[in-house]
Structures are given as C-alpha cells and as structure tokens.
C-alpha cells in the first residue's frame, strides 16, 4: 500500500513524467539473438491472472507500462495494481474484461490498438474520462502519459434522493489536496477536484482480485476513483489549476 518505486519504474525525470520509463509503442520490435526482429511482447505458455508470478508476469508488467498502463512495481508478482492495469488495457481494446491474460489478450498485447481520443484538439495537456469504457486518459504534450481504470458514479439513489452520477461535461482542475480528505460522504485520497470542492479524481485503496475501492463496476457517489498508487503521482501529471477535464 506504500509503493515508493516511482523513480525506479519510471526514471529519474519522473515523478512529473511518471509513465515515461519506456518509449515502446504498439509497433515496437526488438532484435533477437541473431539480429532478427521479435515482438515486444512474447508468446505465452500459460494464462496469467491475479496471484501468478514469474518472468512472464514481469514481461506483462513491462508491456503494460510501455503502453502507459501503470501495473505497480515490476516484481513479477501479479498484484491488484497489475490487475487494474490489465482491466484498463482490456477496456480500451474492446475485449472481454476478465483480468486474465488469455490468448485473445496476449494477441492484443502484441498488437494493441491505441486509445481513440474524443477531444484531440482539447489541449496538449488534458484528462479524458470515458465513462462507458471505464478509463481515464492523461495527455501531456499531445501524447498519452497514463491510462487508468476508473470507477465512477454508480447511478444509485442516496442522501434524500440524490443520484450517484458523474456528470458528463467539460471542466478544469480546480484544486489538489494532499493525503486523506474527509468529506460528508466519506474519505478520498489525494483528490484533484474538477467541480469546485464537490467532484474529484481521487484514489481509493486497492486490494485483492475485486480491486478494493476501484472495482470493475461504477460504485462511487459521483467522483472518479483511481487506484491508490496512481493517485500518489496523478496530481503531478496535471496542472492544478486549469487542466481541461473532459468527461463523456
């Protein structure tokens, strides 16, 4: 729960460019022993899932990081953070979100399709929150810097008839508050607000295959939840105040 590995994973330039550790893209190949080209992601001999460990898990983590999905520490252990990164990858690829690296997911890892921006002219630095795909995408210098799984408003009714909805629209970051912040509806970690002091992109604890506070399903009161470890550096990827936030 206290991952202090950002510089090791993403390089010394980093915390402000936290996911720039690898420059690989979907089309990158590397040279093999005899100089022949081989895919940036290898063939698998087994399915990988939460709890798996080994070199193939480490290769998965490196591939996800290269594609700007943050999988946590590159330990070779399939953690809850790796699971959430894989969810985000499967969500963007439009394949079944199983949290398992099966044959279809392995093929997508070798030949991934990039995220299709909705607001390509919305600013060189911006945040896009895709409620349908359940992902958040951070752009810096017109390039993807981070793709994260999210859990947004759950649609249920609470507190005298209020409905748990994350409102679509165009906003800008307004403030960042460090650490755990208590609000009437609970607590949020390292929130970056985009509507006054009411709606924020914030961290929630991650544990186990269910994703903890950032599960597959939308469950929040209306804020955009991101994994706890991503929240620790998310605020350094966006300028507060003023970064555009597009929710759709």
Distance CA 129, CA 246 (A): 6
Q: What integer pLDDT is reported at residue 161 of this predicted model? A: 83
> Is beta strand 199-204 parallel, antiparallel or unpaired with respect to 224-227?
parallel
Can you give the pLDDT at residue 39?
A: 54
Task: Give the model's pLDDT for residue 17.
Answer: 39
Question: What domains sit in the chain, N to C, each tagged with a CATH number?
Answer: 6-110 (1.10.101.10), 126-247 (2.40.440.10)
Q: What is the pLDDT of residue 44?
A: 83
pLDDT of residue 7: 36
pLDDT of residue 139: 98
Summarize the chain as % helix, strand, coil (round to 5).
Answer: 20, 30, 50
pTM attached to this predicted model = 0.83
Bridge partners of 199, per DSSP, are 195
pLDDT along the chain (248 residues), means of 10: 38 39 35 44 91 97 97 96 97 97 96 96 97 98 97 89 93 96 88 92 87 90 95 95 97
């Amino acid at each position: 729960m206290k991952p202090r590995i950002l510089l090791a994973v993403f390089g010394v330039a980093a915390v402000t460019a936290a996911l720039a550790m690898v420059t690989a893209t979907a089309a990158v190949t590397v040279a093999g022993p005899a100089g022949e080209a081989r895919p940036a992601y290898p063939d698998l001999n087994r399915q990988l899932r939460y709890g798996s460990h080994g070199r193939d898990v480490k290769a998965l983590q490196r591939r996800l990081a290269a594609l700007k999905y943050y999988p946590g520490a590159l330990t070779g252990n399939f953690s809850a953070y790796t699971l959430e990164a894989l969810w985000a990858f499967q969500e963007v690829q439009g394949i079944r979100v199983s949290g398992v690296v099966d044959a279809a997911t392995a093929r997508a890892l070798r030949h991934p399709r990039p995220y299709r921006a909705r607001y390509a002219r919305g600013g060189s630095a911006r945040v896009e929150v895709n409620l349908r795909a359940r992902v958040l995408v951070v752009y810096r210098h017109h390039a993807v810097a981070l793709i994260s799984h999210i859990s947004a408003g759950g649609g249920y009714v609470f507190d005298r008839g209020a409905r748990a909805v994350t409102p679509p629209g165009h906003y800008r970051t307004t403030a960042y508050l460090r650490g755990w912040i208590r609000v009437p509806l609970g607590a949020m970690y390292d929130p970056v607000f985009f509507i006054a002091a009411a709606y924020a992109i914030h961290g929630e604890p991650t544990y186990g295959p269910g994703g903890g506070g950032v599960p597959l399903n939308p469950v929040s009161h209306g804020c955009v939840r991101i994994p706890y470890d991503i929240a620790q550096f998310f605020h350094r990827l966006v300028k507060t105040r003023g970064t555009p936030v597009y929710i759709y």
